[in-house]
Structure formats: structure tokens, C-alpha cells
Amino acid sequence: MIKNDKTQLILNGDILKALLTLSIPIIINNFIQTLFNLVDSYWVGNISYVHFAATSFVWPVIFLFISLGIGISIAGTSLLSQLVGANKIKEAEDYASQIIVVSVLAALSFTVIGYAISPYIISAMGADAELAHLSNIYLRITFLDLVFMFLYFNINSIMSAQGNTVTPTILSAISAILNMILDPIFIFTFNWGIAGAAWATLVSRALLAIVGVFFLFSEGNKIKPSFRNFKFNKNILKDILRVGFPSSIGSAGSAIGFMVLNGFVVSYGTATLAAFGMVNRITSMVMQFSQGIGAALTSVVGQNIGANQYERVTQAFHKASKIAVNIGVVGCIILILLDNQLVDFFLQSKDDPSVVAQGISFLRYISLSMPFLGLFSVFQGLFQGSGNTKFSMGMEIGRLWFVRIPMILLFKYFTDVGATGIWFSMSVSNLLVCVYGFIIYRSERWKRSVIMNM
């Protein structure tokens, strides 16, 4: 097997080894990316819980704008991995070029729009006074980061489609270390407050994207996009749209759902919002393992479908499911046993004891659904790897708009359980969305090809 080429392992080697080989760097990468948020939260939480709440409050807005970038990135991994599996490297390079140009143009447009309408979005979500002011500062600076974020998404998808999950991990590690160094300097030494956290992340991600471009055109990378005499290709754009649009809609629908969810959460008070954001950051750490397995499954599924090896696809799905469920069970036990210690660590500023109490309550509820969150990631990997992202879109939107939000409405207006209704609804929605995923899997509709002339 040649260096940087995992194709033989994915197509002909041991399935479990392929999943672990690809997923371990992705898991490390995911942890590193999570550090961006955790480090920001740790230092911002030392200022006050309102500052902490502001970073959580605006995240769904940011996620809404980057949903197109995520969709294009998912399309890239799916389409490129299938072309690599079919040994069509020249076609893969053409696809990569189109994907990068579309992403950069979209990011530039979203930066301008997002920066302009930031205060209006925050106001519409129900924030006022200090929370609104801090949220607007953090959000506007974050919008300036979109171009670098989208570009890195593309670099990551191009490398992951080839089975190279190590290089993105190394790049992310360098970026995360820089972010950890800059955060306290910008926030406290320069006295920039919450703006310092946003600027530190922007500088770190800019470096990540710039260095990533260098590796993209290095000798070890098989898929090298070319922009000489660039012209848009209608057929390629159709494939990108066919695969990427459902993913973007799913991510956007999820982001809008979380914006609505944040509105419900903040209606119980800023302390509840702080607890909500804090626990989401804690559980995201456990989820990195299952999300890594799901992301690895995307490449394994894509390349084996490109090689028309559906039996190996099924084997990969079964093994990934077992791993994800076991990870979820272990994570559930750890979160329940260490609930007090985890909440205390991530909330350094304890100017409101109710934040800690609500955080522990939420953590206990959401811990029970960790195995289902693991399966959710595996189903996403299967559907995205096959290119049938309409099913992953259905899972994203369905769990929020058809289960979680309606349940929260019922609890809020027809019972007197308070914020507990939110925590319970979130756990139930994670269970029911996996039932939907299993039904689609059994129907085998995800096996339909999505690449033209494939």
C-alpha cells in the first residue's frame, strides 16, 4: 500500500481496520475543533455567565450560515470518494475545483449579509440588554471567519475522500494550539473581552486554511484542483447541488430549529441558557468518537459504492453501528458518574448557583440518549457516503421540527415542568430519529446512485 493511499484498505482490506484507521485521526481532529469552542468558553466563562451564554446563544446563527459550506463539503466527500473508488482521479480533480470556487463565493456573500443583519437576528431571537450587545460583538467577528472556515471544509473533504484523515488532524492541532495561546492574550491582556475570543479563533482558522491550501497542492495529495482557465461545469454543478443541497437544507433546518430552541431556552432565563450551552459542550466531547466513526463510514461507503461493492458497505455499517452504540453506553455512564465535576469545571464563574443545578439536571437527561446520538452519526455517514443526503436531511430536520420543538411547546404551555420539558424532549427526539434512520436503511433506498454517468 503506497503512502497516503488508503484506497486498497477501504476496498479490499479488513473493514474494521479501515474504519478505525480513518476514524481515529478524525476523532482527534474533532476533539481539536471542539477545543476552539471549549477554550473560548473556558476563558469567556471566567468573565461572567452572561458572556458564556452569549457565545452559546449565537452558535445556531453561525451554523445557519455555514450550513451551505457543510453541505458542499459533504457533497465533496461523497462524490470524490465514489470517483476515487471508481479510479476516476481526473474527474475528481474537476469536481474539487468546482466545489472550492462555489464555496468561496458563497462564503464571501454570507460574510457581507451576516455582518449587516447580525443585530436584527439577535433581537428577533429574543435577546436584549447585555446579552444582545455581547452576542452581536461575537457574531459579527465570527462572520469574518466564514471564508477560511469554508475553505478548510473543502480541504478536509478532498483529503478525507482519499482516505487521508491524518493531514487535516495535524493542521487542526497547530490551529488549536495557536487559539489556546491567543485566547487569554486577546481576552485579558489586551482587554478585548468576548471580542478577543472571536478574534483568536479567526486568526487561528485563517492560518489553518492557508497552510491547508499548501498541503492540498503538495506532491502527496492525489486530487489537485486546477483553476487555470476555470469555467463552471453544469453537469458537475448539478451533481454538487443534488448531493449538497439536501445536506445544506438539513443543516440549515437544524440551525433554525436550534435558534427557535434557544428562544425557548432563554425564555426561562439567561441562567438556563448558560446551562444549556455548557452541557452541549460537555456532551459534544463524548460525541466526537461516534461522529468520527460516522465520518469515516462516509468515505468507506463512498469508495465501495464507487467500486460497486455493496456487501462491504453493509458490513461497514454494521460494524460502525456496534462501535457507536458501545461508545454511547460508556459515555452515558461517565457523564452520569462525573456530572458534578464536569459542570464545575466548565463553569468557572459561579455568580448564579442555579446555572450549576440546571446544568446537572440537563446533563443527566441527555446522557441517557448518548447511544442514540451515536447511531444518528452512523446513519448520517451511511446516507451521506451513498450520496443520498435527502435521508440525512430528513433526520436533521425531523428530530427538531417534528419531534423536539412540538414536544417542547406541549410541555411549556400545557404543563408546569419548566426547563425539564426541554431536556426530556431532546432525549426522546434522539431516540425517534434513529427509528426513522433504521426504516430508511431497511428499505435500501439509499443504494441509488447519484452521480451522473457513473
How distant is the alpha carbon of residue 327 from its chain centre? 18
pLDDT of residue 4: 45
Q: How far apart are CA 147 and CA 452, in angstroms?
A: 29
8's grid cell: 486498497
CA dihedral (34, 36, 38, 39) positive or negative: positive
**C-alpha pair distances (Å), 271 with each of 28, 171, 310:** 32, 36, 50
> What is the end-to-end Cα distance of the chain in Å, rounded?
26
pLDDT at 210: 93
Q: Which three cell numbers stand for residue 315?
A: 458490513
Of 298, 293, 270, 263, nearest in space to 382 by CA: 298
DSSP 60-110: HHHHHHHHHHHHHHHHHHHHHHHHHHTT-HHHHHHHHHHHHHHHHHHHHHH
Q: What is the pLDDT along the chain (454 residues), one digit of tens a residue?
A: 334 467 889 999 999 999 999 999 988 877 777 666 667 777 887 888 788 788 878 888 888 888 878 888 888 899 999 999 989 999 999 999 999 999 999 999 999 999 999 999 999 888 888 889 999 999 999 999 999 999 999 999 999 999 888 888 888 888 888 988 999 999 999 999 999 999 999 999 999 999 999 999 988 888 999 998 899 999 999 999 888 889 888 888 888 888 888 888 888 887 888 888 878 878 888 888 999 999 999 999 999 999 999 999 999 999 999 999 999 999 999 999 988 888 777 665 555 677 788 888 889 999 999 999 999 999 999 999 998 899 999 999 999 999 999 999 999 888 878 888 889 999 999 999 999 999 999 998 898 766 655 5
Could you tell me how many residues make up the chain?
454
DSSP 8-state assignment for residue 446 = G
Note the pTM of the prediction, 2 decimals: 0.81
Residue 350 is predicted with a pLDDT of: 54
- pLDDT value at residue 284: 82
All three cell numbers of 434: 434513529
The position carrying cell 433554525 is 256
Q: What is the pLDDT of residue 129?
A: 85
Classify each residue of 48-85 as buried b or exposed e, where b means 16 or more C-beta atoms within 10 Å of its C-beta.
bbbbbbbbbbbbbbbbbbbbbbbbbbbbbbbbbbbbbb
- C-alpha cell, 146: 466564514
CA 115 to chain centre: 22
Task: Give me the pLDDT at residue 20, please.
Answer: 93
- Helix 270-306 / helix 49-57 crossing angle, nearest 10 deg: 40
pLDDT at 2: 38
Number of C-beta neighbours around residue 274 at 10 A: 31
Decide: residue 431, CB within 10 A, 0-12 exposed, 13-18 middle, 19+ buried. middle
d(CA 172, CA 30): 9
How many Å is the Cα radius of gyration of the chain? 21
- For residue 445, what is the DSSP state? G
- DSSP state string for 340-358: HHHHHHH----S-HHHHHH
H or E stretch including 146? helix 146-161
| Residues contacting residue 298 through CB under 8 Å, at least 6 positions apart | 74, 77, 78, 81, 160, 381, 384, 385
pLDDT at 193: 92
Spatial distance between the Cα atoms of 235 and 357, rounded to a whole number of angstroms = 55
